[in-house]
Chain A
Amino acid sequence: MLHQINKYVKAQIKNKGKTLRLGDWDDQIHKALAHPIRRHVIECLQERSLSFQELLKSVAISNHGKLGFHLKALEGLVEREPSMGKYRLTDRGQLAGELIWDARFIIARSGQDLTLKPPRYARRLRLGDHAILFYDTEDDMHEITFPFLEAGLLKGEAVVYVVPENEMYSEGQEIQRYGISVDRFHKEAFTLLSAEEWYLKKGKAQAETIIANWLTLTKEKQKVGFTGLCGATEMKVFFDYAKGEELLRYEAALGRYFALNLCGLCLYDTHRLDEKQFIQLNKSHGHSIFKGIALKTI
């Protein structure tokens, strides 16, 4: 499989080099991606910035010198953040990561192998996508939702995180703990919203009103200069207020894909769903994400 990845990456670099006129940096990327540890470093940094110690743990090697050697070989693809001192990918590093992922995806489609990583899948959702996350625990939910929100910020989208009112403070803390520094971005880039305020107006949950609000908010954010709106929304408020039927109507009305510049990840605690809700909610979304697998459902 490694041979296939190398072969694919070489071909893609050749093509992308031609298209993007990237000059002779393909030698650098070839060298960098020739070693499994270096590929693994790039894949880990695609998820988030990491300190040296965190990288050691993620790459699962104990030899500091060995990791230092490979980080040096990745110069130009990996850099250290000036403020936190954590390692992150440069633009070229991001492209290298995309190449590795593309290669894995192509190999997977040929039925040979695939390591499906839901957090990475969530990061790759785009404007227009309507995805659902079925989670078992809060930790599982954070593990997939936060990379999704972070990717939205990095792509220049405005990000909205809708959570129950009584969890707004704790979720704000969790986001910081995860390492998303919202201060790095435009002051309107990140908004934490109360689910009760967003979904329930005067005790009612009307699909048309909520959808109109999404449309308005998306347009407002675009006027400010954002490419679109990326929203992760915790849906338990519908169950807390016994609005199960309204919820199904709302999700069905949104459709599997959005015709506007909105990317949505709807968060559902699986334990609260019955079979009918599970089936219908799954059908109302274009992408389904679980703890260990993520799928395009069409």
Chain B
Amino acid sequence: MAEDFADKISRLASKAEFVEASKQSLNALFGESATLVIINHLGGAEALQDPKAFYNGLKAIFGAGAEIIMKIILKKLETPSET
């Protein structure tokens, strides 16, 4: 699953776009300060640089919810105009 996700991301977007889409998705779901806590919990801004590691990190803290979050991020990358 993590590999699938990383593969899709690499085909869809650049690293910078992935970082931005991830932050925006987490912000939309949990708010700005909670997003900072989550990213900090995952190991800081570097955690967003590697989609596979990011997925595994999210899985550890959100369980099955990580898959939904990933779908939301992917959707954002597929249709960037949607918020």
Contact = CB atoms under 8 A, between A and B. Distances in A.
A134 B41 contact: no
A134 B63 contact: yes
Q: Please classify the interface of chain B as helix (H, G, I), strand (E, B), loop, or mixed, using the class held by over half of its residues.
A: helix
Interface residues of A, number: 25
A134 to B, nearest CB: 5
Nearest to B42: A293
B63 A295 contact: no
Nearest to B57: A292
Interface string A263-298: 000000011011100110010000010111101111
Interface string A86-108: 00000000000000000000001
B40 interface: yes
Interface string B28-59: 11110010011011000000000000000000
Interface of B: 28-31, 34, 37-38, 40-41, 60-65, 68, 71-72, 75
Interface of A: 108, 111, 114, 116, 134-136, 140, 270-271, 273-275, 278-279, 282, 288, 290-293, 295-298
Can you list the 8 inter-chain pairs with the closest CB atoms, starting with the nearest?
A292-B61, A270-B64, A136-B63, A291-B63, A293-B61, A295-B34, A278-B68, A290-B62
